[in-house]
Amino acid sequence: MSDRHFGLMGYVDLQLGQDLGPRVDSGLADAGFSRGASAGAYADASGRSVRCSWGGPTGSRWPDSLPAWAVFPIDYDTYEAYGAAVFVSVFRALCRATTPILARSFHPIGVDMIHQSELDGKVDYVDWIQYYGPRVAAAIGPDRIRAAGFHQLEEFPDGSVLAMAKAHYIDDFPNRKTIVDTLGLTPRSFARNPKTGEPMKINWCR
């Protein structure tokens, strides 16, 4: 598999673990995708398909200690063919159905994976699209989130927020450094390459 793909992932509260499967099905149905014949496969009336897996917790140590879901892989060709709006709709519907603590787009190289400390509000990364559950949104501060300069922002009655930093996943970030600074985040400087274990420096110049 090439690196021309990405995914969407969310971590949910422990007590929702047993109910996660039906919630995932419900969320994808709200986005127009029904469960297919094979496990994790969903399709809409136009024949477009996505794969979504969920489960956990499977262990006592992070990242296996909380239930999670992931739409993966989304290859770039499929993303461009379907359009960004389809995946924004899928992400939004899954988040509203599963009420994650934190959810975000990610690239499998591992730089932007969700860290355990972020679930306590110590967010240190901004990607194409993110969903801050009520606890995380309150920790960052609603006023900071509104002032950060996100490309698109949607606030929900329960205090959660869906925030897009740019219109399309494959676009450059126009103002990510400004968003990070306005949110008052201490951004991660390094991440571990999941294939080699070597540290990778993160460029926050934009």
Stretch 92-117: mean pLDDT:
93
Over residues 99-128, the mean pLDDT reads: 92
Place of tokens 């949110």: 183
Where is average pLDDT lowest: 51-55, 62-66, 74-78, 82-86?
62-66
**pLDDT grade for 89, boundaries at 50, 70 and 90:** very high
Q: Give the closest residue to 11 by CA, choosing from 108, 109, 130.
A: 130
Tell me the residue range of the domain where 88 lies: 5-201
Q: Is residue 206 part of a domain?
A: no
Statement: residue 205 has pLDDT above 60 = no
Q: Which whole number is the average pLDDT over 102-122?
A: 91
Average confidence (pLDDT) over 59-83: 93
Flag whether 121 is in a domain.
yes
In a domain, 133, yes or no: yes
* Residue 165 belongs to some domain of the structure: yes
- Average pLDDT over every residue of 151-173: 97
Cα–Cα dist 86/78, whole Å: 11
pLDDT recorded at residue 198: 67
Using pLDDT thresholds of 50, 70 and 90, give the confidence band for residue 193: low
The residue ranking higher by pLDDT, 83 or 109, is 83
CA distance 49 to 119: 30
Residue 172: other Cβ atoms inside 10 A: 8
Q: Is residue 135 part of a domain?
A: yes
Domain count, the chain: 1
- Residue 65 is predicted with a pLDDT of 87
* Average pLDDT in the chain: 91
